[in-house]
Amino acid sequence: MKETKKLSIGDFLRNNMAWVLLIVCCLIFGVISPNFFSFVNIINILNQNAYIIITAFGISFIMMAGEVDISVGYAISLNGVAVAILMTKFGIPVILGVILSVIFGVLICLVNMLIAYKLNLQLFMATVGTTTIFQGFAYVMTQSKTISNLPDGFKIIGQGYLGPIPIPVIITAVLFIVVSFILNKTYIGRYVFAIGGNVEAVRLAGINVFGMKLFIASIAGFMTGVGAIILSARLGSVTANMGTGLEFTIITAVLLGGVSVRGGEGRISGVVAGVLILAILSNGMQLARLDVYYQFVAKGIIMLAAIGFDVFQLKKKKKVTVKKPDGDK
């Protein structure tokens, strides 16, 4: 009984550590800055990080299924560049640009998954290569120049409000509900966790693992496309490097949010908390006028700590599994 209790506490900490840390961070900055808990500041934090949260939703699906995609930052850049060129140089309507952005996002993630499958590689290794390809295409298409003069109808997606709430925050809330429903209430969610937990068992059960991974990649691509739309619209312009480094922030946030580096575990709510923790820490370091490179160091430490905690929990589970038969005796 004692061992079971310890395991449940460990699981609770693993599933809710991000929210505990988020509350601690909020309390600290609430003491430092009395305006931290104001409605305006909270909405501003959510608005600035909406595109990261949405993209992290998609990467969460990938990582819960036991894979890692490190091309997401440059995928956002390439996506934003392609759609911006179509709208500014070819004059396509905003609604068509939005649809194409989502389609491009899906195609990019499908290409990553297909390359990994055809070459019999982990997705991580495949995206090591595609990252540079996406980066190169983005720079070639822009010729290293900024694409501005985006249509006002497009910019309102990232800069507009519905009442007191920014449109990106509303989109994030809607997608959070949708993604949570898919993971927790549908067979798709069960398959995602099952593939990440034991892919061979899923294959032996007669489930088309590759087909499911393509579907998971499509979800990730959809979120990447939406994230690219919101980022481009919020900035009002597009550059070939606007997504540079986002992959590191997103993967760190997903791990910090409790998604296991091995796959098979995680919560979308924890991922939201993970993104907000990094956002608050980054904001705090900026207020302290610390160089941006210190932020990279902090994120690296946080990522290693999240992976270390995940490995620690795995070892505890293995120990409990080994000891359990003796206890039954």
pTM (predicted TM-score): 0.89
Q: Which residues contact 246 (CB under 8 A, 6 or more apart)?
A: 52, 55, 72, 73, 76
- Positions of the chain with pLDDT lower than 50, given as ranges: 1-5, 7, 327-329
Q: What is the pLDDT of residue 313?
A: 67
Q: pLDDT by residue (tens digit) across 225-254? A: 999 999 999 999 999 999 988 999 999 999
The pLDDT tens digits of the residues spanning 276-298 come to 999 988 877 776 677 777 777 88
Q: Which residues, at least 6 apart from 24, have a Cβ–Cβ distance to it below 8 Å?
A: none
Residue 204, SS3 per DSSP: helix
The helix/strand/coil state of 275 is helix
Tokens of 10: 């460990």
Query: Which are the contacts of 5, defined by CB distance < 8 A and separation ≥ 6?
Result: none
Contacts of 172 (CB under 8 A, 6+ apart): 46, 50, 53, 54
